[in-house]
Structure 1
Amino acid sequence: MSDGQTVQTAPLRVAVIATSWQERVSLQALVEANPAFEFLGSAADAEKLVDCLAGSVPDVVVTDIAPEASDALKTLFELSHALPSLVLLSDDPDSDWILDALPADAAAILPRNAMPAEIVVSIEAVAAGLCVVTRDVLVRLLAGTRAPRQKLSGEPLEALTLREIGVLAMLADGLGNKEIARQLDISDNTVKFHLSSIFGKLGATNRTEAVMLGMRHGFIMV
């Protein structure tokens, strides 16, 4: 600034969920060592974290619990209208459930043995609205590793119903099962039934693949 003053930005509020107390202590030390972060608290699961925070909502949650943590956080923080971003530490960041969770539930996915600097950069990235994934996950998202079932079988693609198209569009918007059920006023089991039908018709094996195939065949646009 021309008058020599600097703009002070508020530190990022960071919380931790980890099953191991050693991991919680390690992540807490990492957060507290960075002056750009404010450590809010830690717990072994999402419910205990919410109790620990007593109404405060973090900007970012670093967690090694997946994929249940993201769903629990959505439910527990939904009244605040300000869901935290997630940095997920996983033993298997390239597994299929990661591809299912990524569009809706996580902004960063790192291996559990990620370097401290990588975790710090990921916290800053997700707080800025960016996604962080490993190279292998990115390659699978862009190109895919499995051929759709309808190509293998040679069967023609079956058209989706209007309700299934609506559910698929909600998947593309990043909604979880509970959110879809709430918006459509249907049960969770009915949502699962629709998803099963969508996957079967498109030949998809997970949510990400279903959205990609739905876009490819013109059922939805993103």
Structure 2
Amino acid sequence: MTTVRVLVAEDQPAVREGLVLLVGLLPGIEVVGQAGDGAAAIEETLRLQPDVVLMDLDLPRCDGAAATRRIVADLPGTRVVVLTTYADSASIVRALDAGAVGYVTKAANGDEIGRAIHAAAAGQTVMDLSVQRTLLAAARRPAAPPQDGLTAREVDVLKLVAAGRGNREIARELQVSEATVKTHVNRIFAKTGCGTRAQAVHYAHQHGYAD
């Protein structure tokens, strides 16, 4: 079996270190690098040229979808498998549109992650069962028009902002870094025309994002 060279991109150090250890123990796989944000993922991928990048979506400096798009464009031979907590249709479609060939949730075990990595290295598309069900359900229902271009994750953050949560509390609740939350908040401000959190709260109540 040819050894698959893998780079792990994950912003939470403890999670990243765990993944590096787990993936490195899988048969036929060697972890050659790691990155804690999207920009570093691009830089390390260009430098190391791994066969597969295991990519989180919520990354600071450059999110996982944007990093995937750049990697696929610059290194067509490198495959990207998204490993994330999100299984909503918007996140899945965004990742696949960016060029990811695999989409696995963090509920997957080591064997499932290993199969996804080997399948990606062989040029195959692989998605876990929950992701397939989400896409099938989305295909069966009429598409709702987006509001101001907010992503599903940005809506989650906006709802928590409207509930009075600070960045640290939001990060803890959504299990992401504070830097990632700050990035989402800045994007929400840009898309909604808000300049302060108070304006964002008012916007959320006006547009049905607040309970």
Same-fold call, TM > 0.5? yes
Equivalent residue, structure 1, for 2:11: 19
- State how far apart, in whole Å, the 2-side matches of 1:121 and 1:78 are: 24
CA contact 1:57–1:82 (8 Å) conserved in 2: no
Residue 22 of structure 2 corresponds to: 30
Match of 1:129 among 110, 115, 123: 123
Q: Quote the offset at 1:15 in angstroms.
A: 0.3
Structure 1 residue runs of 5 or longer lacking an equivalent are 1-8, 150-222
Q: 2:109 maps to what in 1?
A: 115
1:76, CA displacement in angstroms? 5.3
Matched, 1:45 2:59: no
Return the alpha-carbon distance in structure 1 between the equivalents of residues 96 and 58 of structure 2.
11
Provide the aligned C-alpha RMSD in A: 2.8
Change (3 A) 1:35 1:94: same
Gaps of 5+ in 2: 145-211
Instruction: Please say if 1:88 is aligned against 2:82.
Output: yes
Q: Distance in 1 between matches of 2:2 and 2:95?
A: 30
TM-fit CA distance, 1:146: 1.6
For 2:115, the aligned partner's letter is V
Q: Out of 47, 66, 69, which is 2:64 matched to?
A: 69
CA contact under 8 A between 2:69 and 2:98: conserved in structure 1?
Answer: no
CA distance in 1, matches of 2:45, 2:130: 35
- State the TM-score, normalized to the length of structure 2: 0.56
Q: Which residue is 2:141 aligned to?
A: 146
For residues 78-130 of structure 1, what are the alpha-carbon distances to aligned partners after superposition, in whole Å with 9 as ceiling and x for unaligned?
Answer: 44x43521221222213323124324422111121211111111101111111
- CA 1:76 to 1:63, structure 2 compared with 1: closer, same or farther past 3 Å? closer
* Cα distance change, pair 92–145 in 1 and its aligned pair in 2 (3 A): farther
Mapped partners of 1:140, 1:114: distance in 2: 16
Change (3 A) 1:110 1:56: same
Q: Is the 8 A contact 1:74 1:83 kept in 2?
A: no
Q: For residues 5-51 of structure 1, give each alpha carbon's deviation from its aligned partner in whole angstroms, at most 9, with x where no partner exists.
A: xxxx5411100000111111111112221341121110111322344
In 1, Cα distance between equivalents of 2:143 and 2:44: 45
Match of 2:8, SS state, is: strand
Over alpha carbons, which structure has the higher Rg?
A: 1
Residue pair 1:14, 1:39 contacting (<8 A) in 2 also: yes
- TM-score (norm: length of structure 1): 0.54
Inter-partner Cα distance in structure 2 for 1:101 and 1:12: 22
